[in-house]
Amino acid sequence: MKKLTENILYQVIKKRPEQSYKGTYGRVLIIGGTKQFGGAAIMNALASVHSGAGLVTVATDPSNFTALHSHLPEAMVVNFNDYLIPYIQSHDVILIGSGLGDRLDLVKTTFAAVSAKQIMIVDGSALTLVAANHLVWPTSRLIITPHQMEWQRVSDVPISQQTFEALNSSARAHFNVKPIVVLKQFHTQIYTDNGSFELTIGGPYQATGGMGDTLAGIIAGFVAQFSNTSLDDNVLAAVYIHSAIADELAQQSFVTLPTQISAKLPYFMKKYAN
Ligand SMILES: NC(=O)C1=CN([C@@H]2O[C@H](COP(=O)(O)OP(=O)(O)OC[C@H]3O[C@@H](n4cnc5c(N)ncnc54)[C@H](OP(=O)(O)O)[C@@H]3O)[C@@H](O)[C@H]2O)[C@@H](O)CC1
Ligand SMILES: Nc1ncnc2c1ncn2[C@@H]1O[C@H](COP(=O)(O)OP(=O)(O)O)[C@@H](O)[C@H]1O
Ligand SMILES: [Mg+2]
């Protein structure tokens, strides 16, 4: 397993060309946040916008609109009970699942509408719904971001066996579509067609609800905007920067809040842009 280093940030984060506009940096659709878990979609969106996605729309329960806008007026909203197919088809990147509760209907609609050229990130409750209902993965460019229990649910590799890299790799190989797998834990592992990678930074100051929702949002922001590097590299850079910022915050803080990580992203990214 290759160890991720800071070098991935120099490779991926580039100074922006002057001849560009918001459309250049990608359109992200976030589908998540039931009434109970609205914070998850808000944290997705904060991370996507702060990491540089050009346009972010959040399809969520309408009870979350005001809270989302008060944190992030940059985001657009749509009621996730409305007809979503035109939204799904017109976005470059779809992030589904954070705080999605039991909305299997939304997972099915999204999987059916997404096309092969779009990038889809599946997180949180959507992973649990895929596993519980034996859904077939869509043939989009797919990234999944399970924590260890979610990975157990979707891959059948028990948490106690997940230390074995070969088992995780072979479980991934048996999916109908081979996704980039971000297996989150202390020292997160990333499984790709080009090998597996290990994060060697980060720590338990990150163990706060919303930390994974924030990572999923950063991944969306990175894959939406960086078009000169591979999808694999963009995901690796997103995973690295999430914990690098946490490490920096942890020098002064006992816990590192997800929203603090998002707030720091633009400043942290600046030093790598060349
Ligand atoms: N503010 C918001 O709106 C927030 C909304 N959120 C949203 O809530 C949804 C549910 O997400 P979830 O992860 O909380 O619940 P679930 O999928 O049932 O997994 C938990 C079960 O797995 C077990 N477990 C074992 N290992 C584990 C591990 N490494 N990491 C984590 N758990 C581990 C664990 O064991 P236990 O803690 O009981 O020991 C428990 O039995 C999801 O969509 C998410 O986006 C959250 O982001 C929070 C903030
Ligand atoms: N002890 C730890 N050390 C390093 N990172 C951690 C630790 N505990 C949690 N994390 C990180 O926090 C995030 C948790 O993701 P997840 O459980 O999906 O959170 P949530 O769904 O509440 O947003 C992952 O990125 C994980 O790697
Ligand atoms: Mg999660």
Measured in angstroms, how far is the CA atom of residue 210 from the centroid of ligand 3? Answer: 7
pLDDT digits (tens, 9 = 90+) for 98-109: 999 999 999 999
Q: For the whole model, what pTM was predicted?
A: 0.98
Distance 261 CA to ligand 1 centre (A): 19
Cα(186) to ligand 2 centroid in Å equals: 7
Does 113 appear as a known binding residue? no
Mean pLDDT over each residue of the chain, to the nearest integer: 97
pLDDT score at 265: 98
Q: What is the 3-state secondary structure (H, E, C) of the chain?
A: CEECCCHHHHHHCCCCCCCCCHHHHCEEEEECCCCCCHHHHHHHHHHHHHHCCCEEEEEECHHHHHHHHHHCCCCEEEECCCCCHHHHHCCCEEEECCCCCCCHHHHHHHHHHCCCCCEEEEEHHHHHHHHHCCCCCCCCEEEEECEHHHHHHHHCCCHHHCCCHHHHHHHHHCCCCCCEEEEECCCCEEEECCEEEECCCCCHHHCCCCHHHHHHHHHHHHHHHCCCCCHHHHHHHHHHHHHHHHHHHHCCCCCCCHHHHHHHHHHHHHCCCC
State the greatest distance between any 2 C-alpha atoms of the chain, in Å, as a whole number. Answer: 51
Nearest to 220 by CA among 59, 15, 77, 28: 28
Contact 207, 200 (CB under 8 A): no
The single-letter code of the amino acid at 55 is L
**Which pLDDT tens digit goes with each residue over 51-82?**
999 999 999 999 999 999 999 999 999 999 99
**pLDDT single digits (tens) 161-180:** 999 999 999 999 999 999 99
Spell out the residues 6+ positions from residue 219 whose beta carbon is closer than 8 angstroms to its own.
95, 121, 143, 145, 182, 234, 235, 238, 239
By the 8 A CB rule, do 218 and 238 touch? yes
Q: What mean pLDDT is predicted for residues 93-98?
A: 98
Looking at the CA of 98, name the nearest ligand: 1
pLDDT at 274: 79
CATH fold of 2-270 reads UDP-N-acetylmuramoyl-L-alanine:D-glutamate ligase (3.40.1190)
| Strand ranges across the sheet with 27-31 | 2-3, 195-198, 189-192, 180-183, 141-145, 119-123, 93-96, 27-31, 55-60, 76-79
Q: What average pLDDT score do residues 262-272 get?
A: 97
Q: What are 201's two structure tokens?
A: 């930074």
Query: With a cut of 0.90, is the ipTM above it?
Result: yes
What residue segments make up the domains of the chain, in order of their start? Answer: 2-270
Confidence tier at 18 by pLDDT (50, 70, 90):
very high
Output the ligand 1 site: residues, CB below 6 A.
37, 39-40, 97-100, 124-125, 128, 147-150, 159, 185, 209-210, 212-213
Burial class for 117, CB neighbours closer than 10 Å (0-12, 13-18, 19+): exposed
Residue 235: closest CA among 268, 266, 267, 193 = 193
Give the percent of the chain with pLDDT over 70.
100
The ligand with the least distance to the CA atom of 211 is: 2
pLDDT, one tens digit per residue, over 181-220 is: 999 999 999 999 999 999 999 999 999 999 999 999 999 9
Name the pLDDT band for 140 (thresholds 50, 70, 90).
confident
